[in-house]
């Protein structure tokens, strides 16, 4: 049986997994929507921790140098996994799919929108990396508008040697944990932070950071796009978010519709109701637009 409303496909960001959406999906479902999530290749149940983590006493140098067990994960694998989930969502909703991506998950939803634009009602970035054609995430992260980002201070070792961007999600060092909280979860309680940090994995394959965006006006540009700006963000600063919106609009054409939350990088945790309300409004507007175009 087809869903009566749009289906949301929710894509987590770097070092996170599907549990990031645990406070959002019940709200969407209570409002009559279906919400589908997954752990991307290399994330969540698909993540493999460096073996050096299990060695005692802990050797920081070994941890900083060990080749990542997930170094081989590619952006194409992630794109294919989400395309498959979008196709499942489309089968439940007569093609009414809202694709949502947080942070680094923005690279994947852009690739999916380019691949299957006909299956999407809209694409939504939550403090997401929405970058122009030919540019990788790393180049955007290094742009001057991202200079206030705290998250690079979390990176351990040389990504070129490790094959991944590594963080020490399980660190007990007080300064490091404070930086982790400030980067991703600045407006959540200590207990909520501890729970969220326990779900993080250690390595994000370099492929996600180095694979260039491949978006075109005729395909990606045909999908209505929305961007949820997070004003207190210390991982993807607001200046960087606005720069990405302006750059992609200039390169692709059309206008990204913007929404704003006074939140940290993780509104799915700190403001799930407000975030869900924005997503529901986007779905309602998208369905209305589809109906109007069908007349």
CA angle 193, 197, 203 (to 5 degrees): 150
CA-based R_g, the chain, Å: 18
Residue 264 annotated as catalytic = no
Token match 């993807």: residue? 236
Residue 71, SS3 per DSSP:
coil
Q: CA 253, CA 8: separation in Å to the nearest integer?
A: 25
Which is catalytic among the residues 2, 68, 93, 103? 103
How many other CB atoms are found less than 10 A from the CB of residue 4? 11
CA atoms within 13 A on the CB side of 160: 0
3-state secondary structure 80-135: HHHHHHHHHHHHHHCCCEEEEEECCHHHHHHHHHHHCHHHCCEEEEECCCCCCCCC
Cis status of the peptide bond prior to 57, with omega within 30 of 0: yes
The two structure tokens encoding residue 36: 């589908």
Among residues 169, 134, 154, which one has the least CA distance to residue 234? 154
Token match 């492929």: residue? 207
Q: Which residues lie across from 37 on neighbouring strands?
A: 10
Q: CA 85, CA 78: separation in Å to the nearest integer?
A: 11
Token match 């992630």: residue? 78
Residues recognised as catalytic: 103
């Amino acid at each position: 049986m087809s869903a009566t409303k749009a289906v949301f496909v929710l894509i987590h960001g770097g070092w996170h997994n599907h549990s990031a959406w645990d406070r959002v999906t019940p709200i969407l479902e209570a409002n009559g929507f279906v919400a589908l999530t997954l752990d991307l290749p290399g994330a969540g149940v698909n993540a493999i921790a460096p073996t050096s983590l299990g060695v005692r006493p802990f050797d920081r140098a070994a941890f900083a140098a060990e080749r990542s067990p997930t170094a081989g994960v590619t952006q194409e694998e992630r794109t294919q996994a989400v395309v498959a989930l979008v196709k499942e969502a489309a089968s439940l909703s007569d093609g009414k799919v809202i694709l949502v991506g947080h942070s680094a998950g923005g690279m994947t939803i852009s690739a999916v929108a380019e691949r299957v634009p006909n299956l999407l009602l809209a694409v939504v970035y939550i403090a997401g990396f929405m970058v122009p054609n030919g540019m990788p995430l790393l180049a955007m992260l290094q742009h001057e508008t991202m200079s206030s980002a705290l998250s690079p201070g979390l990176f351990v070792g040389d990504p070129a040697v490790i094959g991944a961007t590594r963080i020490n999600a399980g660190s007990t060092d007080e300064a490091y944990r404070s930086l982790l909280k400030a980067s991703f979860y600045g407006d959540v309680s200590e207990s909520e932070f501890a729970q969220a940090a326990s779900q993080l994995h250690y390595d994000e394959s370099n492929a996600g950071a180095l694979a260039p965006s491949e978006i075109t006006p005729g395909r990606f540009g045909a999908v209505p796009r929305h961007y949820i700006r997070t004003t207190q963000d210390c991982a993807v600063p607001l200046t960087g978010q606005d720069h990405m919106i302006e750059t992609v609009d200039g390169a692709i054409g059309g206008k990204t519709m913007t929404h704003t939350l006074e939140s940290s990088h993780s509104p799915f945790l700190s403001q799930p109701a407000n975030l869900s309300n924005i997503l529901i409004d986007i779905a309602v507007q998208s369905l209305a637009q589809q109906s109007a175009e069908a007349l």
